[in-house]
Amino acid sequence: MHLIETIGLTKKFNGTVAVKGINLSIREGICTALLGPNGAGKTTTLNMLTGLMNPTEGSIDFHEDYSGDRRKYLGYLPQYPKFFGWMSGLEYVVFAAELAGLSKEAAKSRAKEMLELVGLAEGGNKKVSGFSGGMKQRLGIAQALVHEPKLIILDEPVSALDPIGRREVLELMKQLKTRTSILFSTHVLHDAEEVSDDIFIMKKGEIVVEGSLVKLQNTYQQPTFFIETEMEMANWLETIKQKEWLRHVKVDKNKATLTVENLQTARTELLSDKTLQELKLIKFEVAKTSLEDLFMKVMK
């Protein structure tokens, strides 16, 4: 089921067209990534979906089950969230819950529950000014979840974090997928690959590639082998050049990168290749290729 559909969604800022007539379908129950470099129009798009900004043209339709004031159904964590450093984590989430219309009692119990969910049960009594970047983002996610929205929208939730903070937040997002739909933006392909089910790649205000992660991987990924031997490989490579499963070879003395058509066939043949064995294998690695090549191509 589609939670949100946009048709021809456009935003112009006197002169510049930040978002150029995009059609998005955000599915319910999954995690969707809006991926693109800085300036692609991600924040502008998310701001229109949350209702913080009006589109210049085009429409945003929520599924008929979610009609009326869309704020009820949405939780939002902006790209540059502002916290009150003097508040405790708990006070902050209670504050957000009361803003969302919960009673004092309900706000408090719900806030505690959310802090626990994001792994900040103990941080609840500490002042936010002492939080790490990862803790602040998790607090921001607790705040976004407090009124039990159908969808949380997270604008670059991991971009400003160090590797530890990034890991914390990505793991949390994976865990949250079972509870709510997620739409998040990022300029890092690996983040999108790690947690999302659907990906929209945006560039200069337009969607240039879209689809489920699985579909994109099947379409664009090619299995790759990294092989390293004690002896040089040039002569051996001549012997496999005509193989129908081989797509591309790059060799540097005793190291080779082979892009292949069919992983299974290639692996079986390579591992039983006597000439290769005589070169004395040091490394035989099947790479879990990413969508990097596609992404780089698109971004050029």
Ligand X SMILES: Nc1ncnc2c1ncn2[C@@H]1O[C@H](COP(=O)(O)OP(=O)(O)O)[C@@H](O)[C@H]1O
Q: Which residues bind ligand X (CB under 6 A)?
A: 13, 16, 18, 36, 38-44
Give the one residue of 6, 10, 32, 43 binding Mg ion; rule: CB under 5 A.
43
The radius of gyration computed from the CA coordinates of the chain, to the nearest angstrom, equals: 24
Token pair recorded at residue 171? 């793991």
What is the nearest approach in angstroms of ligand X to the Cβ of residue 182?
A: 17
What is the nearest approach in angstroms of ligand X to the Cβ of residue 207?
A: 12
CB atoms within 10 A of CB 53: 17
- Output the CA–CA distances (angstroms, integers) from residue 13 to 10, 16, 36, 53, 242, in the order listed: 10, 5, 19, 11, 55
Nearest to 204 by CA among 4, 1, 16: 16
CB within 8 Å of 300: residues ≥ 6 apart = none
How would DSSP label each residue in 194-207? HH-SEEEEEETTEE
Residue 43 or 143 with smaller CB distance to Mg ion: 43
Residue 227 binds which entry of ligand X, Mg ion, none, CB below 5-8 Å type-dependent: none
Which residue has the closest beta carbon to Mg ion? 43
What is the nearest approach in angstroms of Mg ion to the Cβ of residue 187?
A: 8
Residue 222 binds which entry of ligand X, Mg ion, none, CB below 5-8 Å type-dependent: none
Residue 40 binds which entry of Mg ion, ligand X, none, CB below 5-8 Å type-dependent: ligand X
Spatial distance between the Cα atoms of 281 and 269, rounded to a whole number of angstroms: 15
Residue 16 binds which entry of ligand X, Mg ion, none, CB below 5-8 Å type-dependent: ligand X
Residue 42 or 147 with smaller CB distance to ligand X: 42
What is the nearest approach in angstroms of Mg ion to the Cβ of residue 100?
A: 24
Strands 151-155, 74-77: pairing kind: parallel
Spatial distance between the Cα atoms of 206 and 179, rounded to a whole number of angstroms: 30
What is the nearest approach in angstroms of ligand X to the Cβ of residue 40?
A: 4
Token pair recorded at residue 60? 């945003």
# residues contacting Mg ion (CB under 5 A): 3
What is the nearest approach in angstroms of Mg ion to the Cβ of residue 43?
A: 3
Torsion of CA 266, 267, 272, 276, to 10 degrees: 80
Residue 79 or 132 with smaller CB distance to Mg ion: 79
Residue 33 or 40 with smaller CB distance to ligand X: 40
Residue 192 or 233 with smaller CB distance to ligand X: 192
Of 71-90, binders to Mg ion (CB under 5 A) are 79
Binding site for Mg ion (CB under 5 A): 42-43, 79
